[in-house]
């Protein structure tokens, strides 16, 4: 998606404008200046992550509501902060 700037822009626009979107967009600011943007997906396949990674070593999945899990889709950060 990052290879196509228009697709990235559409994904952020949909997350911001469309209440039914499965994505959430965040802007990171320092002293009022935007330095990054992040797009998270609420649509998470927990069974996939459980079967491929040992995530329960870090947290107990059953202790959290299914709706609190997200997946990072896009992370844009000003290069001077890398």
Query: pTM (2 decimals)?
Result: 0.75
- Average pLDDT for residues 58-82, to the nearest whole number? 83
Question: Per-residue pLDDT tens for 1-57?
Answer: 668 889 999 999 999 999 999 999 999 999 999 999 999 998 888 888 888 888 888
Q: Quick check: 68 pLDDT over 80?
A: no
Q: What is the pLDDT of residue 1?
A: 63
Specify which residues 71 forms β-bridges with. Answer: 41
Measured distance CA(21)–CA(3) in Å, rounded: 22
Measured distance CA(56)–CA(61) in Å, rounded: 7
Q: What is the pLDDT of residue 53?
A: 86
Instruction: Report the 10 Å Cβ neighbour count for 5.
Output: 9
């Amino acid at each position: 998606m990052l290879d196509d700037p228009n697709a990235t822009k559409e994904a952020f626009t949909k997350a911001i404008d469309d209440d039914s979107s499965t994505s959430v967009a965040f802007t990171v600011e320092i002293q009022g200046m935007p330095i990054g943007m992040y797009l998270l997906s609420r649509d998470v396949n927990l069974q996939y992550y459980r079967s491929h990674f040992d995530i329960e070593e870090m947290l107990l999945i059953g202790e959290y509501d299914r709706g609190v899990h997200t997946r990072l889709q896009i992370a844009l950060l000003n290069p001077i902060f890398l």
